[in-house]
Amino acid sequence: MIPTPRWARRCALLLLAAAAGTAPFAAAHAQSPAVPAGWPSKPIRVIVPGPAGGVLDTLTRTLSEHVSRSIGQPVVIDNRAGGNGVIGLEACAGAPADGLTLCAVYLEPMSTLPVLDPPQFARFASIEPVSLWVRATGVMYASPASGIDSIDALVKRARATPGQLAYASFGAGTAPHLLFEWLKATQKIDLTHVPYKGSAPAVNDVMGGQVALGYVALGFAVPHIRAGRLKPLAVLGDRRSPLLPDVPALGELALKFPYDGAWFGLAAPRGTAAPIKAFLAARYAAAVNDPEVRGSATMIGYTPVGSTPEAFARVLEQEREQGAALVKLTGVTKD
């Protein structure tokens, strides 16, 4: 799981404060499925595959506090950090499929790593999507010391000095790894991969000039960009971000990377009853779309979604297909 910078933690805590002070969501609940008979009979547990205090942890606690009040049962957060999400997914997959154990999920363990690693695919196949909560646009950036100020400049430098430009990732199969390997394959350039154990050390080394290039979610990068410690090159997707209106989108540059950025959501052990998943998805969607939560999420670069289980399943299917195509194009492996 990605560590969280102090700035993003403060903003994420605003989400928690907003959640604690908001009114019940009567209108949203009127549209949601009825509570299955006799359920929930006891507290619900949500496994977070990351440390307490991280972005996913704080977001999960924020939304779960809303849900707890609306269903009249505690929602307990169980942090299971380690193994790039593997420990948390295994704990979720091995739990009873009664709707009382859920797991927060994010991009890599659900979309990209299952393509690279058969055991990870087995873990993925043992849980079912419930709701896509939010999306987060990412930004490619360079060290100011590198003198690179655009994607065009990056490509020209790489062609002039093959293998001398290095990029930081959070490990094999993560979004930065796939992004820069895709850039290498499509632009016919040679870059050196430097893997880190998280985004914090990766960003720090780019700021310090030890590595030239990197990629991370906007909420992490924006304060460093505004302080002049990172040089933004492009945001993912086809549209510019309101947080960085002067930075082009990859789509503007005719660069069509398959993923638009990271996301966070909710899953359950395979076999969980459809009415329970639909009910939970509706309750979490009401929390995601609360005006105060939406406002705080947007402030740190998130786009609230709050999907149904079916819509989330379609997203995952599409992303696995994209991931398989990326792996074939780039030749990336899990090691």
Give, as one character, the DSSP assignment of residue 95.
S
Tell me: do 275 and 208 sit in the same domain: no
Mean pLDDT of 11-36: 45
Tens-digit pLDDT profile for residues 173-228: 888 999 999 999 999 999 999 998 777 889 999 999 999 999 998 888 999 999 99
Q: Are 127 and 267 in contact (CB under 8 A)?
A: yes
pTM of this prediction exceeds 0.95: no
Whether residues 16 and 123 fall in one domain: yes
CATH (domain of 215): 3.40.190.10
Distance CA 240, CA 48 (A): 31
The answer to whether 130 touches 311, Cβ cutoff 8 Å, is no
Q: Is residue 272 part of a domain?
A: yes
Last residue of a domain, one of 259, 276, 295: 259
Residue 14 near residue 296 (C-beta atoms within 8 A): yes
pLDDT in tens, 39-86: 898 999 999 998 888 778 889 999 999 999 999 999 999 999 887 788
Do 57 and 104 reside in the same domain of the chain?
yes
Among the candidates 206, 240, 259, a domain finishes at 259
* Cβ-based neighbour number of residue 118 at 10 Å: 9
Q: What is the pLDDT of residues 262-309, one digit of tens each?
A: 899 999 999 999 999 999 999 999 999 999 888 888 877 889 999 999
> For residue 333, is it within any domain?
no
Domain contains 1 = no
How much is the CA Rg of the chain, to the nearest whole Å?
20
Q: Are residues 229 and 274 in the same domain?
A: no
User: In b/e form, how buried is each residue of 68-84, taking b as 16+ CB within 10 angstroms?
Assistant: bbbbebebebebbbeeb
Whether residue 299 is contained in a domain is answered as yes
pLDDT at 31: 54
142 and 57, same domain (yes or no): no
Verify that 70 and 127 share a domain, yes or no: yes
Q: Say whether both 11 and 131 belong to one domain.
A: yes
Contact predicate 277/99, CB 8 Å = yes
Structural domain including 42 reads 6-136+260-328
* Three-state SS sequence of 196-262: CCCHHHHHHHHHCCCCCEEEEEHHHHHHHHHCCCCEEEEECCCCCECCECCCCEHHHHCCCCCCCEE
Kindly tell me if the per-residue pLDDT of 25 is higher than 90. no
**Both 73 and 174 in a single domain?**
no
211 within a domain of the structure (yes/no): yes
Counting the structural domains of the chain, the total is 2
Q: Are residues 290 and 232 in the same domain?
A: no
The last residue of one of the domains, among 199, 230, 259, is 259
Same-domain check for residues 192 and 107 = no
Output the domain CATH number for residue 59.
3.40.190.150
Query: Do the domain assignments include residue 334?
Result: no
Q: Are residues 269 and 243 in the same domain?
A: no
* Nearby residues of 186 by Cβ (< 8 Å), 6 or more positions away: 255, 329
Rounded to whole angstroms, the Cα distance separating 85 from 109 reads: 6
Q: Is residue 335 part of a domain?
A: no
The reply to whether 156 and 299 lie within a common domain is no
Of all helices (H) and strands (E), which one includes residue 194?
strand 192-195
Q: Report if residue 108 sits inside a domain.
A: yes
CB 131 within 8 A of CB 266: yes
